[in-house]
Structure 1
């Protein structure tokens, strides 16, 4: 019988393996799952099989939930997973009950201190993370505590400031002032952010094939949202660098997102650009793929200890150019209302040369013959070339199945059980 109440458990911290999470959430192990719903009359477990694609997706979601390390960060993934463990025919209405059960199980668990941030992991600002949201003053105090020396501060400074200044300097006052001036002023230590390569470098062909695959794939439900922004901000300590560390993410409210980051990580971000974006979740993935070889991950934020993974070591104009390129292309509405790619765009993408680093500029900025009406200045016998697409002769037949980029990326949002924005 499927449990409807919390089972007593000795777990006090977030599970670190998918198998442990399965046990905690009472999800069957293995690849061939059956419906986790039950008959309302007899209470017996449903025997209907869960499809193979859904079973694989459940396994991926479990891994991502483990990596997220907290209930707050994993909430939308749990919402997505609950209907998948129920059969489509009879027990979809029991998904909400299962979510409520999972909430009571996972919400009390302690957060993993050094968790890996998902690609679209947003700031952890909800109270479930074990603490109230911090205001600016508390963040300042946190930095002060972390940066102070282990030695206690001398009381001379405080005593000196409380003494009235005599109108005529005496030997005693001069001596006292001289002694006080020799006291070293407390240094404000800037917390150092350290980064490492995100992974092995990709070749031009690998990058282009992954972008092509992402473009040809229909929009996921999480990618159909249109009212959002792609933004980029510079880590303050590298603001003056030629190649600063830049974070690229998406949000529906950029100003709020920057406040969230300040609350979580303790620094004021320097936003360098933000572009209105349709299907902004997909646009973010395209930008991240294009800049893959400049991508970095933080070893561990000195304030929140999270390994933030959407950093890039690039020039500001490069970041802005790539964001603008893909947001502009998405405004051309290349996807139908049902999320499928329009046939004309499919043909153009499949005809691009995957060895050409600039092929995506050609796609997004080129003018194609079928987009133009009859040329206004054409004369009989003259032929005008209105297309910049000189790559139609290229065809790429290499299979994309060899690439390890078939894991769908999940994004989270700030409100309740809705999906979260990335950061």
Structure 2
């Protein structure tokens, strides 16, 4: 039989339990309140801004263009007898490309030779006749008029010789033109005609095209605003020219780097009104013909040297709702501040900052998700930073020391 506990005793025991629970709860809250300030201070990784001399580059899109282009057209008309080249092969300047039927032109040469011989024969008789009439006119053997007619006939005969010689030269030139030769050396394209085709002198359609590919041009486009900015930076001394012609390197469409480097030749004197761009032209060696006309490439130009360049890792720069570049900076008092930046492009894995940061600023590059403007933060110890990096590389967050308890 269980003992009977008085009602008053049960009430006293319940009161004691409630008091103990309340005391424990108060003690726990006091402990949490005491630990709260320490939990609010996040540890972050920072990049300390330090101006440095930096060679600046500009990456521009462009297309390749042949150094020389010659469209081959016939200079005389006739039937194509032979094609004397292999399509897509390299040809030398002056090498034969087509043979036009020369029969009619050979006949014209023969006719011109005969006319020249006839003119020279007439000249042989007119000269002595003038000499005889000169003696006879002195003794009144012939009239003065007959003497002058003989002189005129002699001069006419000399002119006929010169005219016949010129006609022979023209006929010989036309005969040579029946051999259609390459005007320049380079790589020849496909043929637009086949043997048996009828062609005419200086026709509109080219027979084929020869392009010189070594060296080769690269035509680039750059914003006129960017061109003005670079010019002003050079004039103010902010940028220093590297010296001589600007060196250019190429990135091909597959992302690989072209082995040869080129030089900037000139920039166009006018701005395209439709795009606001200026055309720049660079010249590249192309000994292996790796570059072909019309290829899309990206060129990297040496813009100059900035003696006080500020470069910040890209992970430390973000964009706000207005599209402005921003960075979180850890002040000396440990408070996080947001800065609005003006950037001037990238250099490798860093943003070039024109304004918004000064030497000594500590830009937060790790732990950005832990802080916000106005919050307190501290610089993580090197070991902690390395642990964070290692944890990120392993694809999982590092363990928190407090979570073990």
TM-score by length of structure 1 reads 0.19
Which one has the bigger strand percentage?
A: 2
- Quick check: which has more Rg, 1 or 2? 2
TM-score by length of structure 2 reads 0.20
